[in-house]
Amino acid sequence: MKDPRVRALLDVIAYAEGADYATMVKGEGSVPITDFARHPNVLVTLSKSLKSTAAGRYQFLYSTWQGLKMPDFSPISQDKAAVKLLKRRRMLKPLFAGDVEQAIRNGNREWASLPGSPYGQPTHQMAEMLQVYSKSLAKWSRR
């Protein structure tokens, strides 16, 4: 997780999802997260036909979070859990091979806001995601 490329890809996901560590999906019933002992598991109404338990910097659904078996919902646990999902979605191999576009595409079934996601929610353009990645990579590479 210390690799600047991984940190930059995590920043891309957080940017695309429009979230930070204390963000609950925005909708009816949404409140800022103040207790990081566990995933908040609040069912938020986004529309008549869409409800979600998404929470945190990477907008983890409660069911996904449960499967990741993290000790708490702290920022460190959120980052580690997101890296588990990067691995599960086969995003790291193309990332390390320099194919950032493919890495992002591989994650679009996990994160509905990434380009090419099949879920029918608004997505970001690949060019925008690559710009966010480049800027973030420069930041993390200086550290």
Q: How confident is the model at residue 121 (pLDDT cuts 50, 70, 90)?
A: confident
> Taking the domains of the chain in order of start, what are their residue ranges?
4-141
Find, among 127, 131, 121, the residue nearest to 17 by Cα. Answer: 121
* Phi, psi for 42 (deg, rounded to 5): -105, 125
| Structural contact between residues 39 and 60, judged by C-beta atoms closer than 8 angstroms | yes
> What's the pLDDT tens digit per position in 41-54?
999 998 888 899 99
Annotated catalytic residue within 17, 28, 110, 128: 17
CATH 1.10.275.10 fits 4-141, yes or no: no
Residue 17 among the catalytic residues: yes
Rounded CA separation 50/4 (Å): 35
What pTM was computed for the model?
0.95
Mean pLDDT of 86-100: 98
Distance CA 60, CA 111 (A): 9
